[in-house]
Structure 1
């Protein structure tokens, strides 16, 4: 098989990698699992805050590692640490032990967060097919959400018997994914990096910062996209306890979360078509307003689960479309580093918001926490409108 065929195979292999990565059985039950070990909502917020604090400080170094040592190496290391994290989560029984598991999980997330997209996009550049990235990203989002849907349903069923079964099953799938990672082909443009030294990493980070600060469009798109992700992620995780508090069983919670992932899968797969109809202004101006309204609906309406599904679907649309906008503006040799900086912004949001939501949930109720998220989303939507009007 020649080099170009191997690069083209990266696209299909990435679909498989995405399926195994998101076919996890713990996303729908981890907050309930930790609560069963005696953690309060405040402690749940803190432990997620620890995850994102770790992620905040590790995003840039791991992004630079992917740019200099290679995306494939970064991916393999990320999956290995994900396996270690799952094992720790099975056996840990206190806040400290669980926090260590989350710290390792954060680093595994960091090692993947810029590397995967960079590997795919740079493969397309060498094939001169980068214009197909949004469509490919949409398919990838479809696979991710379908895998997540299956994982949520199965995870909910496993949790009815024993929460640790979900983590054991996730560990097995991760082992399979580690083996699969070795089959990727590193684009030559990523292999020709020069000296692999700390000095090179430092220069990589400094140059990437300069690109963001001198290209305001990149900065705005990153801040915008990660804010949308923050709203969706915060609601997704606390929604588990919200539904449990409303008397729903673990398997029914898994089904509701799975339905939201399925809706996100359908929208994500058609994101490139939707984007063609509504354009960048529609994605950046209209969609955030609709998301804000949907968050208010999740907080105030008795049909909160329907609004939750709308939020998930629209976040998927933004992720695919804005991800394409950003990649078109980034030079290949800085791609993983800059994308990791975007994830760092997401971590900053979560460090501030997630523990706050948990504390308010403990003091008042999760309904009040959702109202706070809706208010913040509304304010940020108004700010985005002013920025776009100015542009």
Structure 2
């Protein structure tokens, strides 16, 4: 009798909840500023986080392919909990740096492995055609969790801005028992040998030999970096509009609810528009979201933020699905980690500069600049994707 791997799905939801129920997110920039950090310091700190993810991203994906998705997720969950323990006892840039280092390494062990296990679990049960729907639902659950955390985190921040970090330890710990109860999916054992040399072979295949995969990874990475970058501007953007902590938490909640609801319908939108139409919607929607938010630095800019988050809800699960469709199971976690690797590299390069730009000019001008670059990079990459697909 064949085994069913459907039991993995609710456990992956718990891991997603533990990772996304971020009580700290709606107030973290305010917390940094309370401890004496500038916007350049904040985005430099986040660039260091990205470097930590980058260093381990591809090796962690390879560990997931060779060592096992389950063991990799267990390790990532433990480190995710430990990072918030460090945060709770830190009050300066260097303490935050250590916490971000631990969280970055932990995040790298989860990213890629979770999506790969989801896809392979569905593949084993011959339900892989439902991956986009499941990935969209999982993303929605994550965003709903982040939305509710916005309200809870804002309320806890009324006690102190440090309180959400202390409570976050217990939220993050939920992922540890959930990951321990996962069922490992059997894969091709031939990939268990080769070590670093085999990682390089997968990277070379993904970024050099397979042009279709290369372009899809790059396209997905550009917009992954875009959504990550804008997220760090939301709090100072709203603070500039004279919103207090409570109202910022409410808007943060509504933004994430918007992503969650939109992601539920991502597979239907892609089915109706097709790859070409959906890809055009993503490149135009996300870049114009940046530019319009930068132009409208009044309360009308909030509408532009919601517009951006709607497109984000469509883009994230669909772009992952495009990569999964053209990737084999024996290298899926490594390839998805390679995507996250490139996202973090791009973010580590651009984020400190955007932070400096906003400190010396304005947040609005920084957003307009970022949107223009994203449109240029995304548009050129999409042109080559269409050209390759026609061939």
Q: TM-score range by the shorter chain?
A: over 0.9
Aligned to 2:321: 324
* 1:367 is aligned to 2:387: no
Aligned to 1:111: 109
- 2:161 and 2:371 map into 1 onto residues whose CA distance is 31
Q: Any residues of structure 2 matched to 1:75-90 within 5 Å, and which?
A: 75-90=73-88
Aligned to 1:249: 244
- 1:111 and 1:168 map into 2 onto residues whose CA distance is 23
Aligned to 1:29: 27
Maintained 8 Å contact 2:218/2:381: no
Per-residue CA deviation, residues 6-25 of structure 1 (Å, 9 max, x unaligned), is x1111222223222221120
Per-residue CA deviation, residues 117-139 of structure 1 (Å, 9 max, x unaligned), is 11111111111111110111111
Q: Any residues of structure 2 matched to 1:69-148 within 5 Å, and which?
A: 69-148=67-146
Maintained 8 Å contact 1:61/1:201: no
SS of the equivalent of 2:36 reads: coil
Q: Any residues of structure 2 matched to 1:44-59 within 5 Å, and which?
A: 44-59=42-57
- 2:2 and 2:72 map into 1 onto residues whose CA distance is 21
- 1:101 and 1:3 map into 2 onto residues whose CA distance is 43
Where does the alignment leave 5 or more consecutive residues of structure 2 unmatched? none
Aligned to 1:17: 15
* 1:354 is aligned to 2:348: no
- 1:258 and 1:358 map into 2 onto residues whose CA distance is 24
Pair 1:330–1:388, CA change in 2 (3 A): closer
Pair 1:126–1:382, CA change in 2 (3 A): closer
Pair 1:372–1:111, CA change in 2 (3 A): same
Report the CA distance between 1:37 and its aligned residue: 0.5
Aligned to 2:157: 159
* 1:238 is aligned to 2:233: yes
Aligned to 1:269: 264
SS of the equivalent of 1:187 reads: coil
Where does the alignment leave 5 or more consecutive residues of structure 1 unmatched? none
- 2:57 and 2:330 map into 1 onto residues whose CA distance is 16
- 1:382 and 1:186 map into 2 onto residues whose CA distance is 39
Report the CA distance between 1:366 and its aligned residue: 1.4
TM-score normalized with structure 2 length: 0.94
* 1:294 is aligned to 2:292: no
Per-residue CA deviation, residues 94-143 of structure 1 (Å, 9 max, x unaligned), is 21111111111110110011110111111111111111101111111111
Aligned to 1:185: 183
Pair 1:386–1:193, CA change in 2 (3 A): closer
Number of equivalent positions = 385
Maintained 8 Å contact 1:261/1:313: no
Show structure 1 runs of 4+ deviating over 2 A. Answer: 2-5, 192-195, 384-391
Report the CA distance between 1:193 and its aligned residue: 5.8
Report the CA distance between 1:276 and its aligned residue: 0.5
* 1:4 is aligned to 2:3: yes
Report the CA distance between 1:380 and its aligned residue: 2.2
- 1:3 and 1:40 map into 2 onto residues whose CA distance is 57
Maintained 8 Å contact 2:215/2:385: no
Report the CA distance between 1:287 and its aligned residue: 2.3
**Aligned mate of 2:306, from 304, 309, 314:** 309
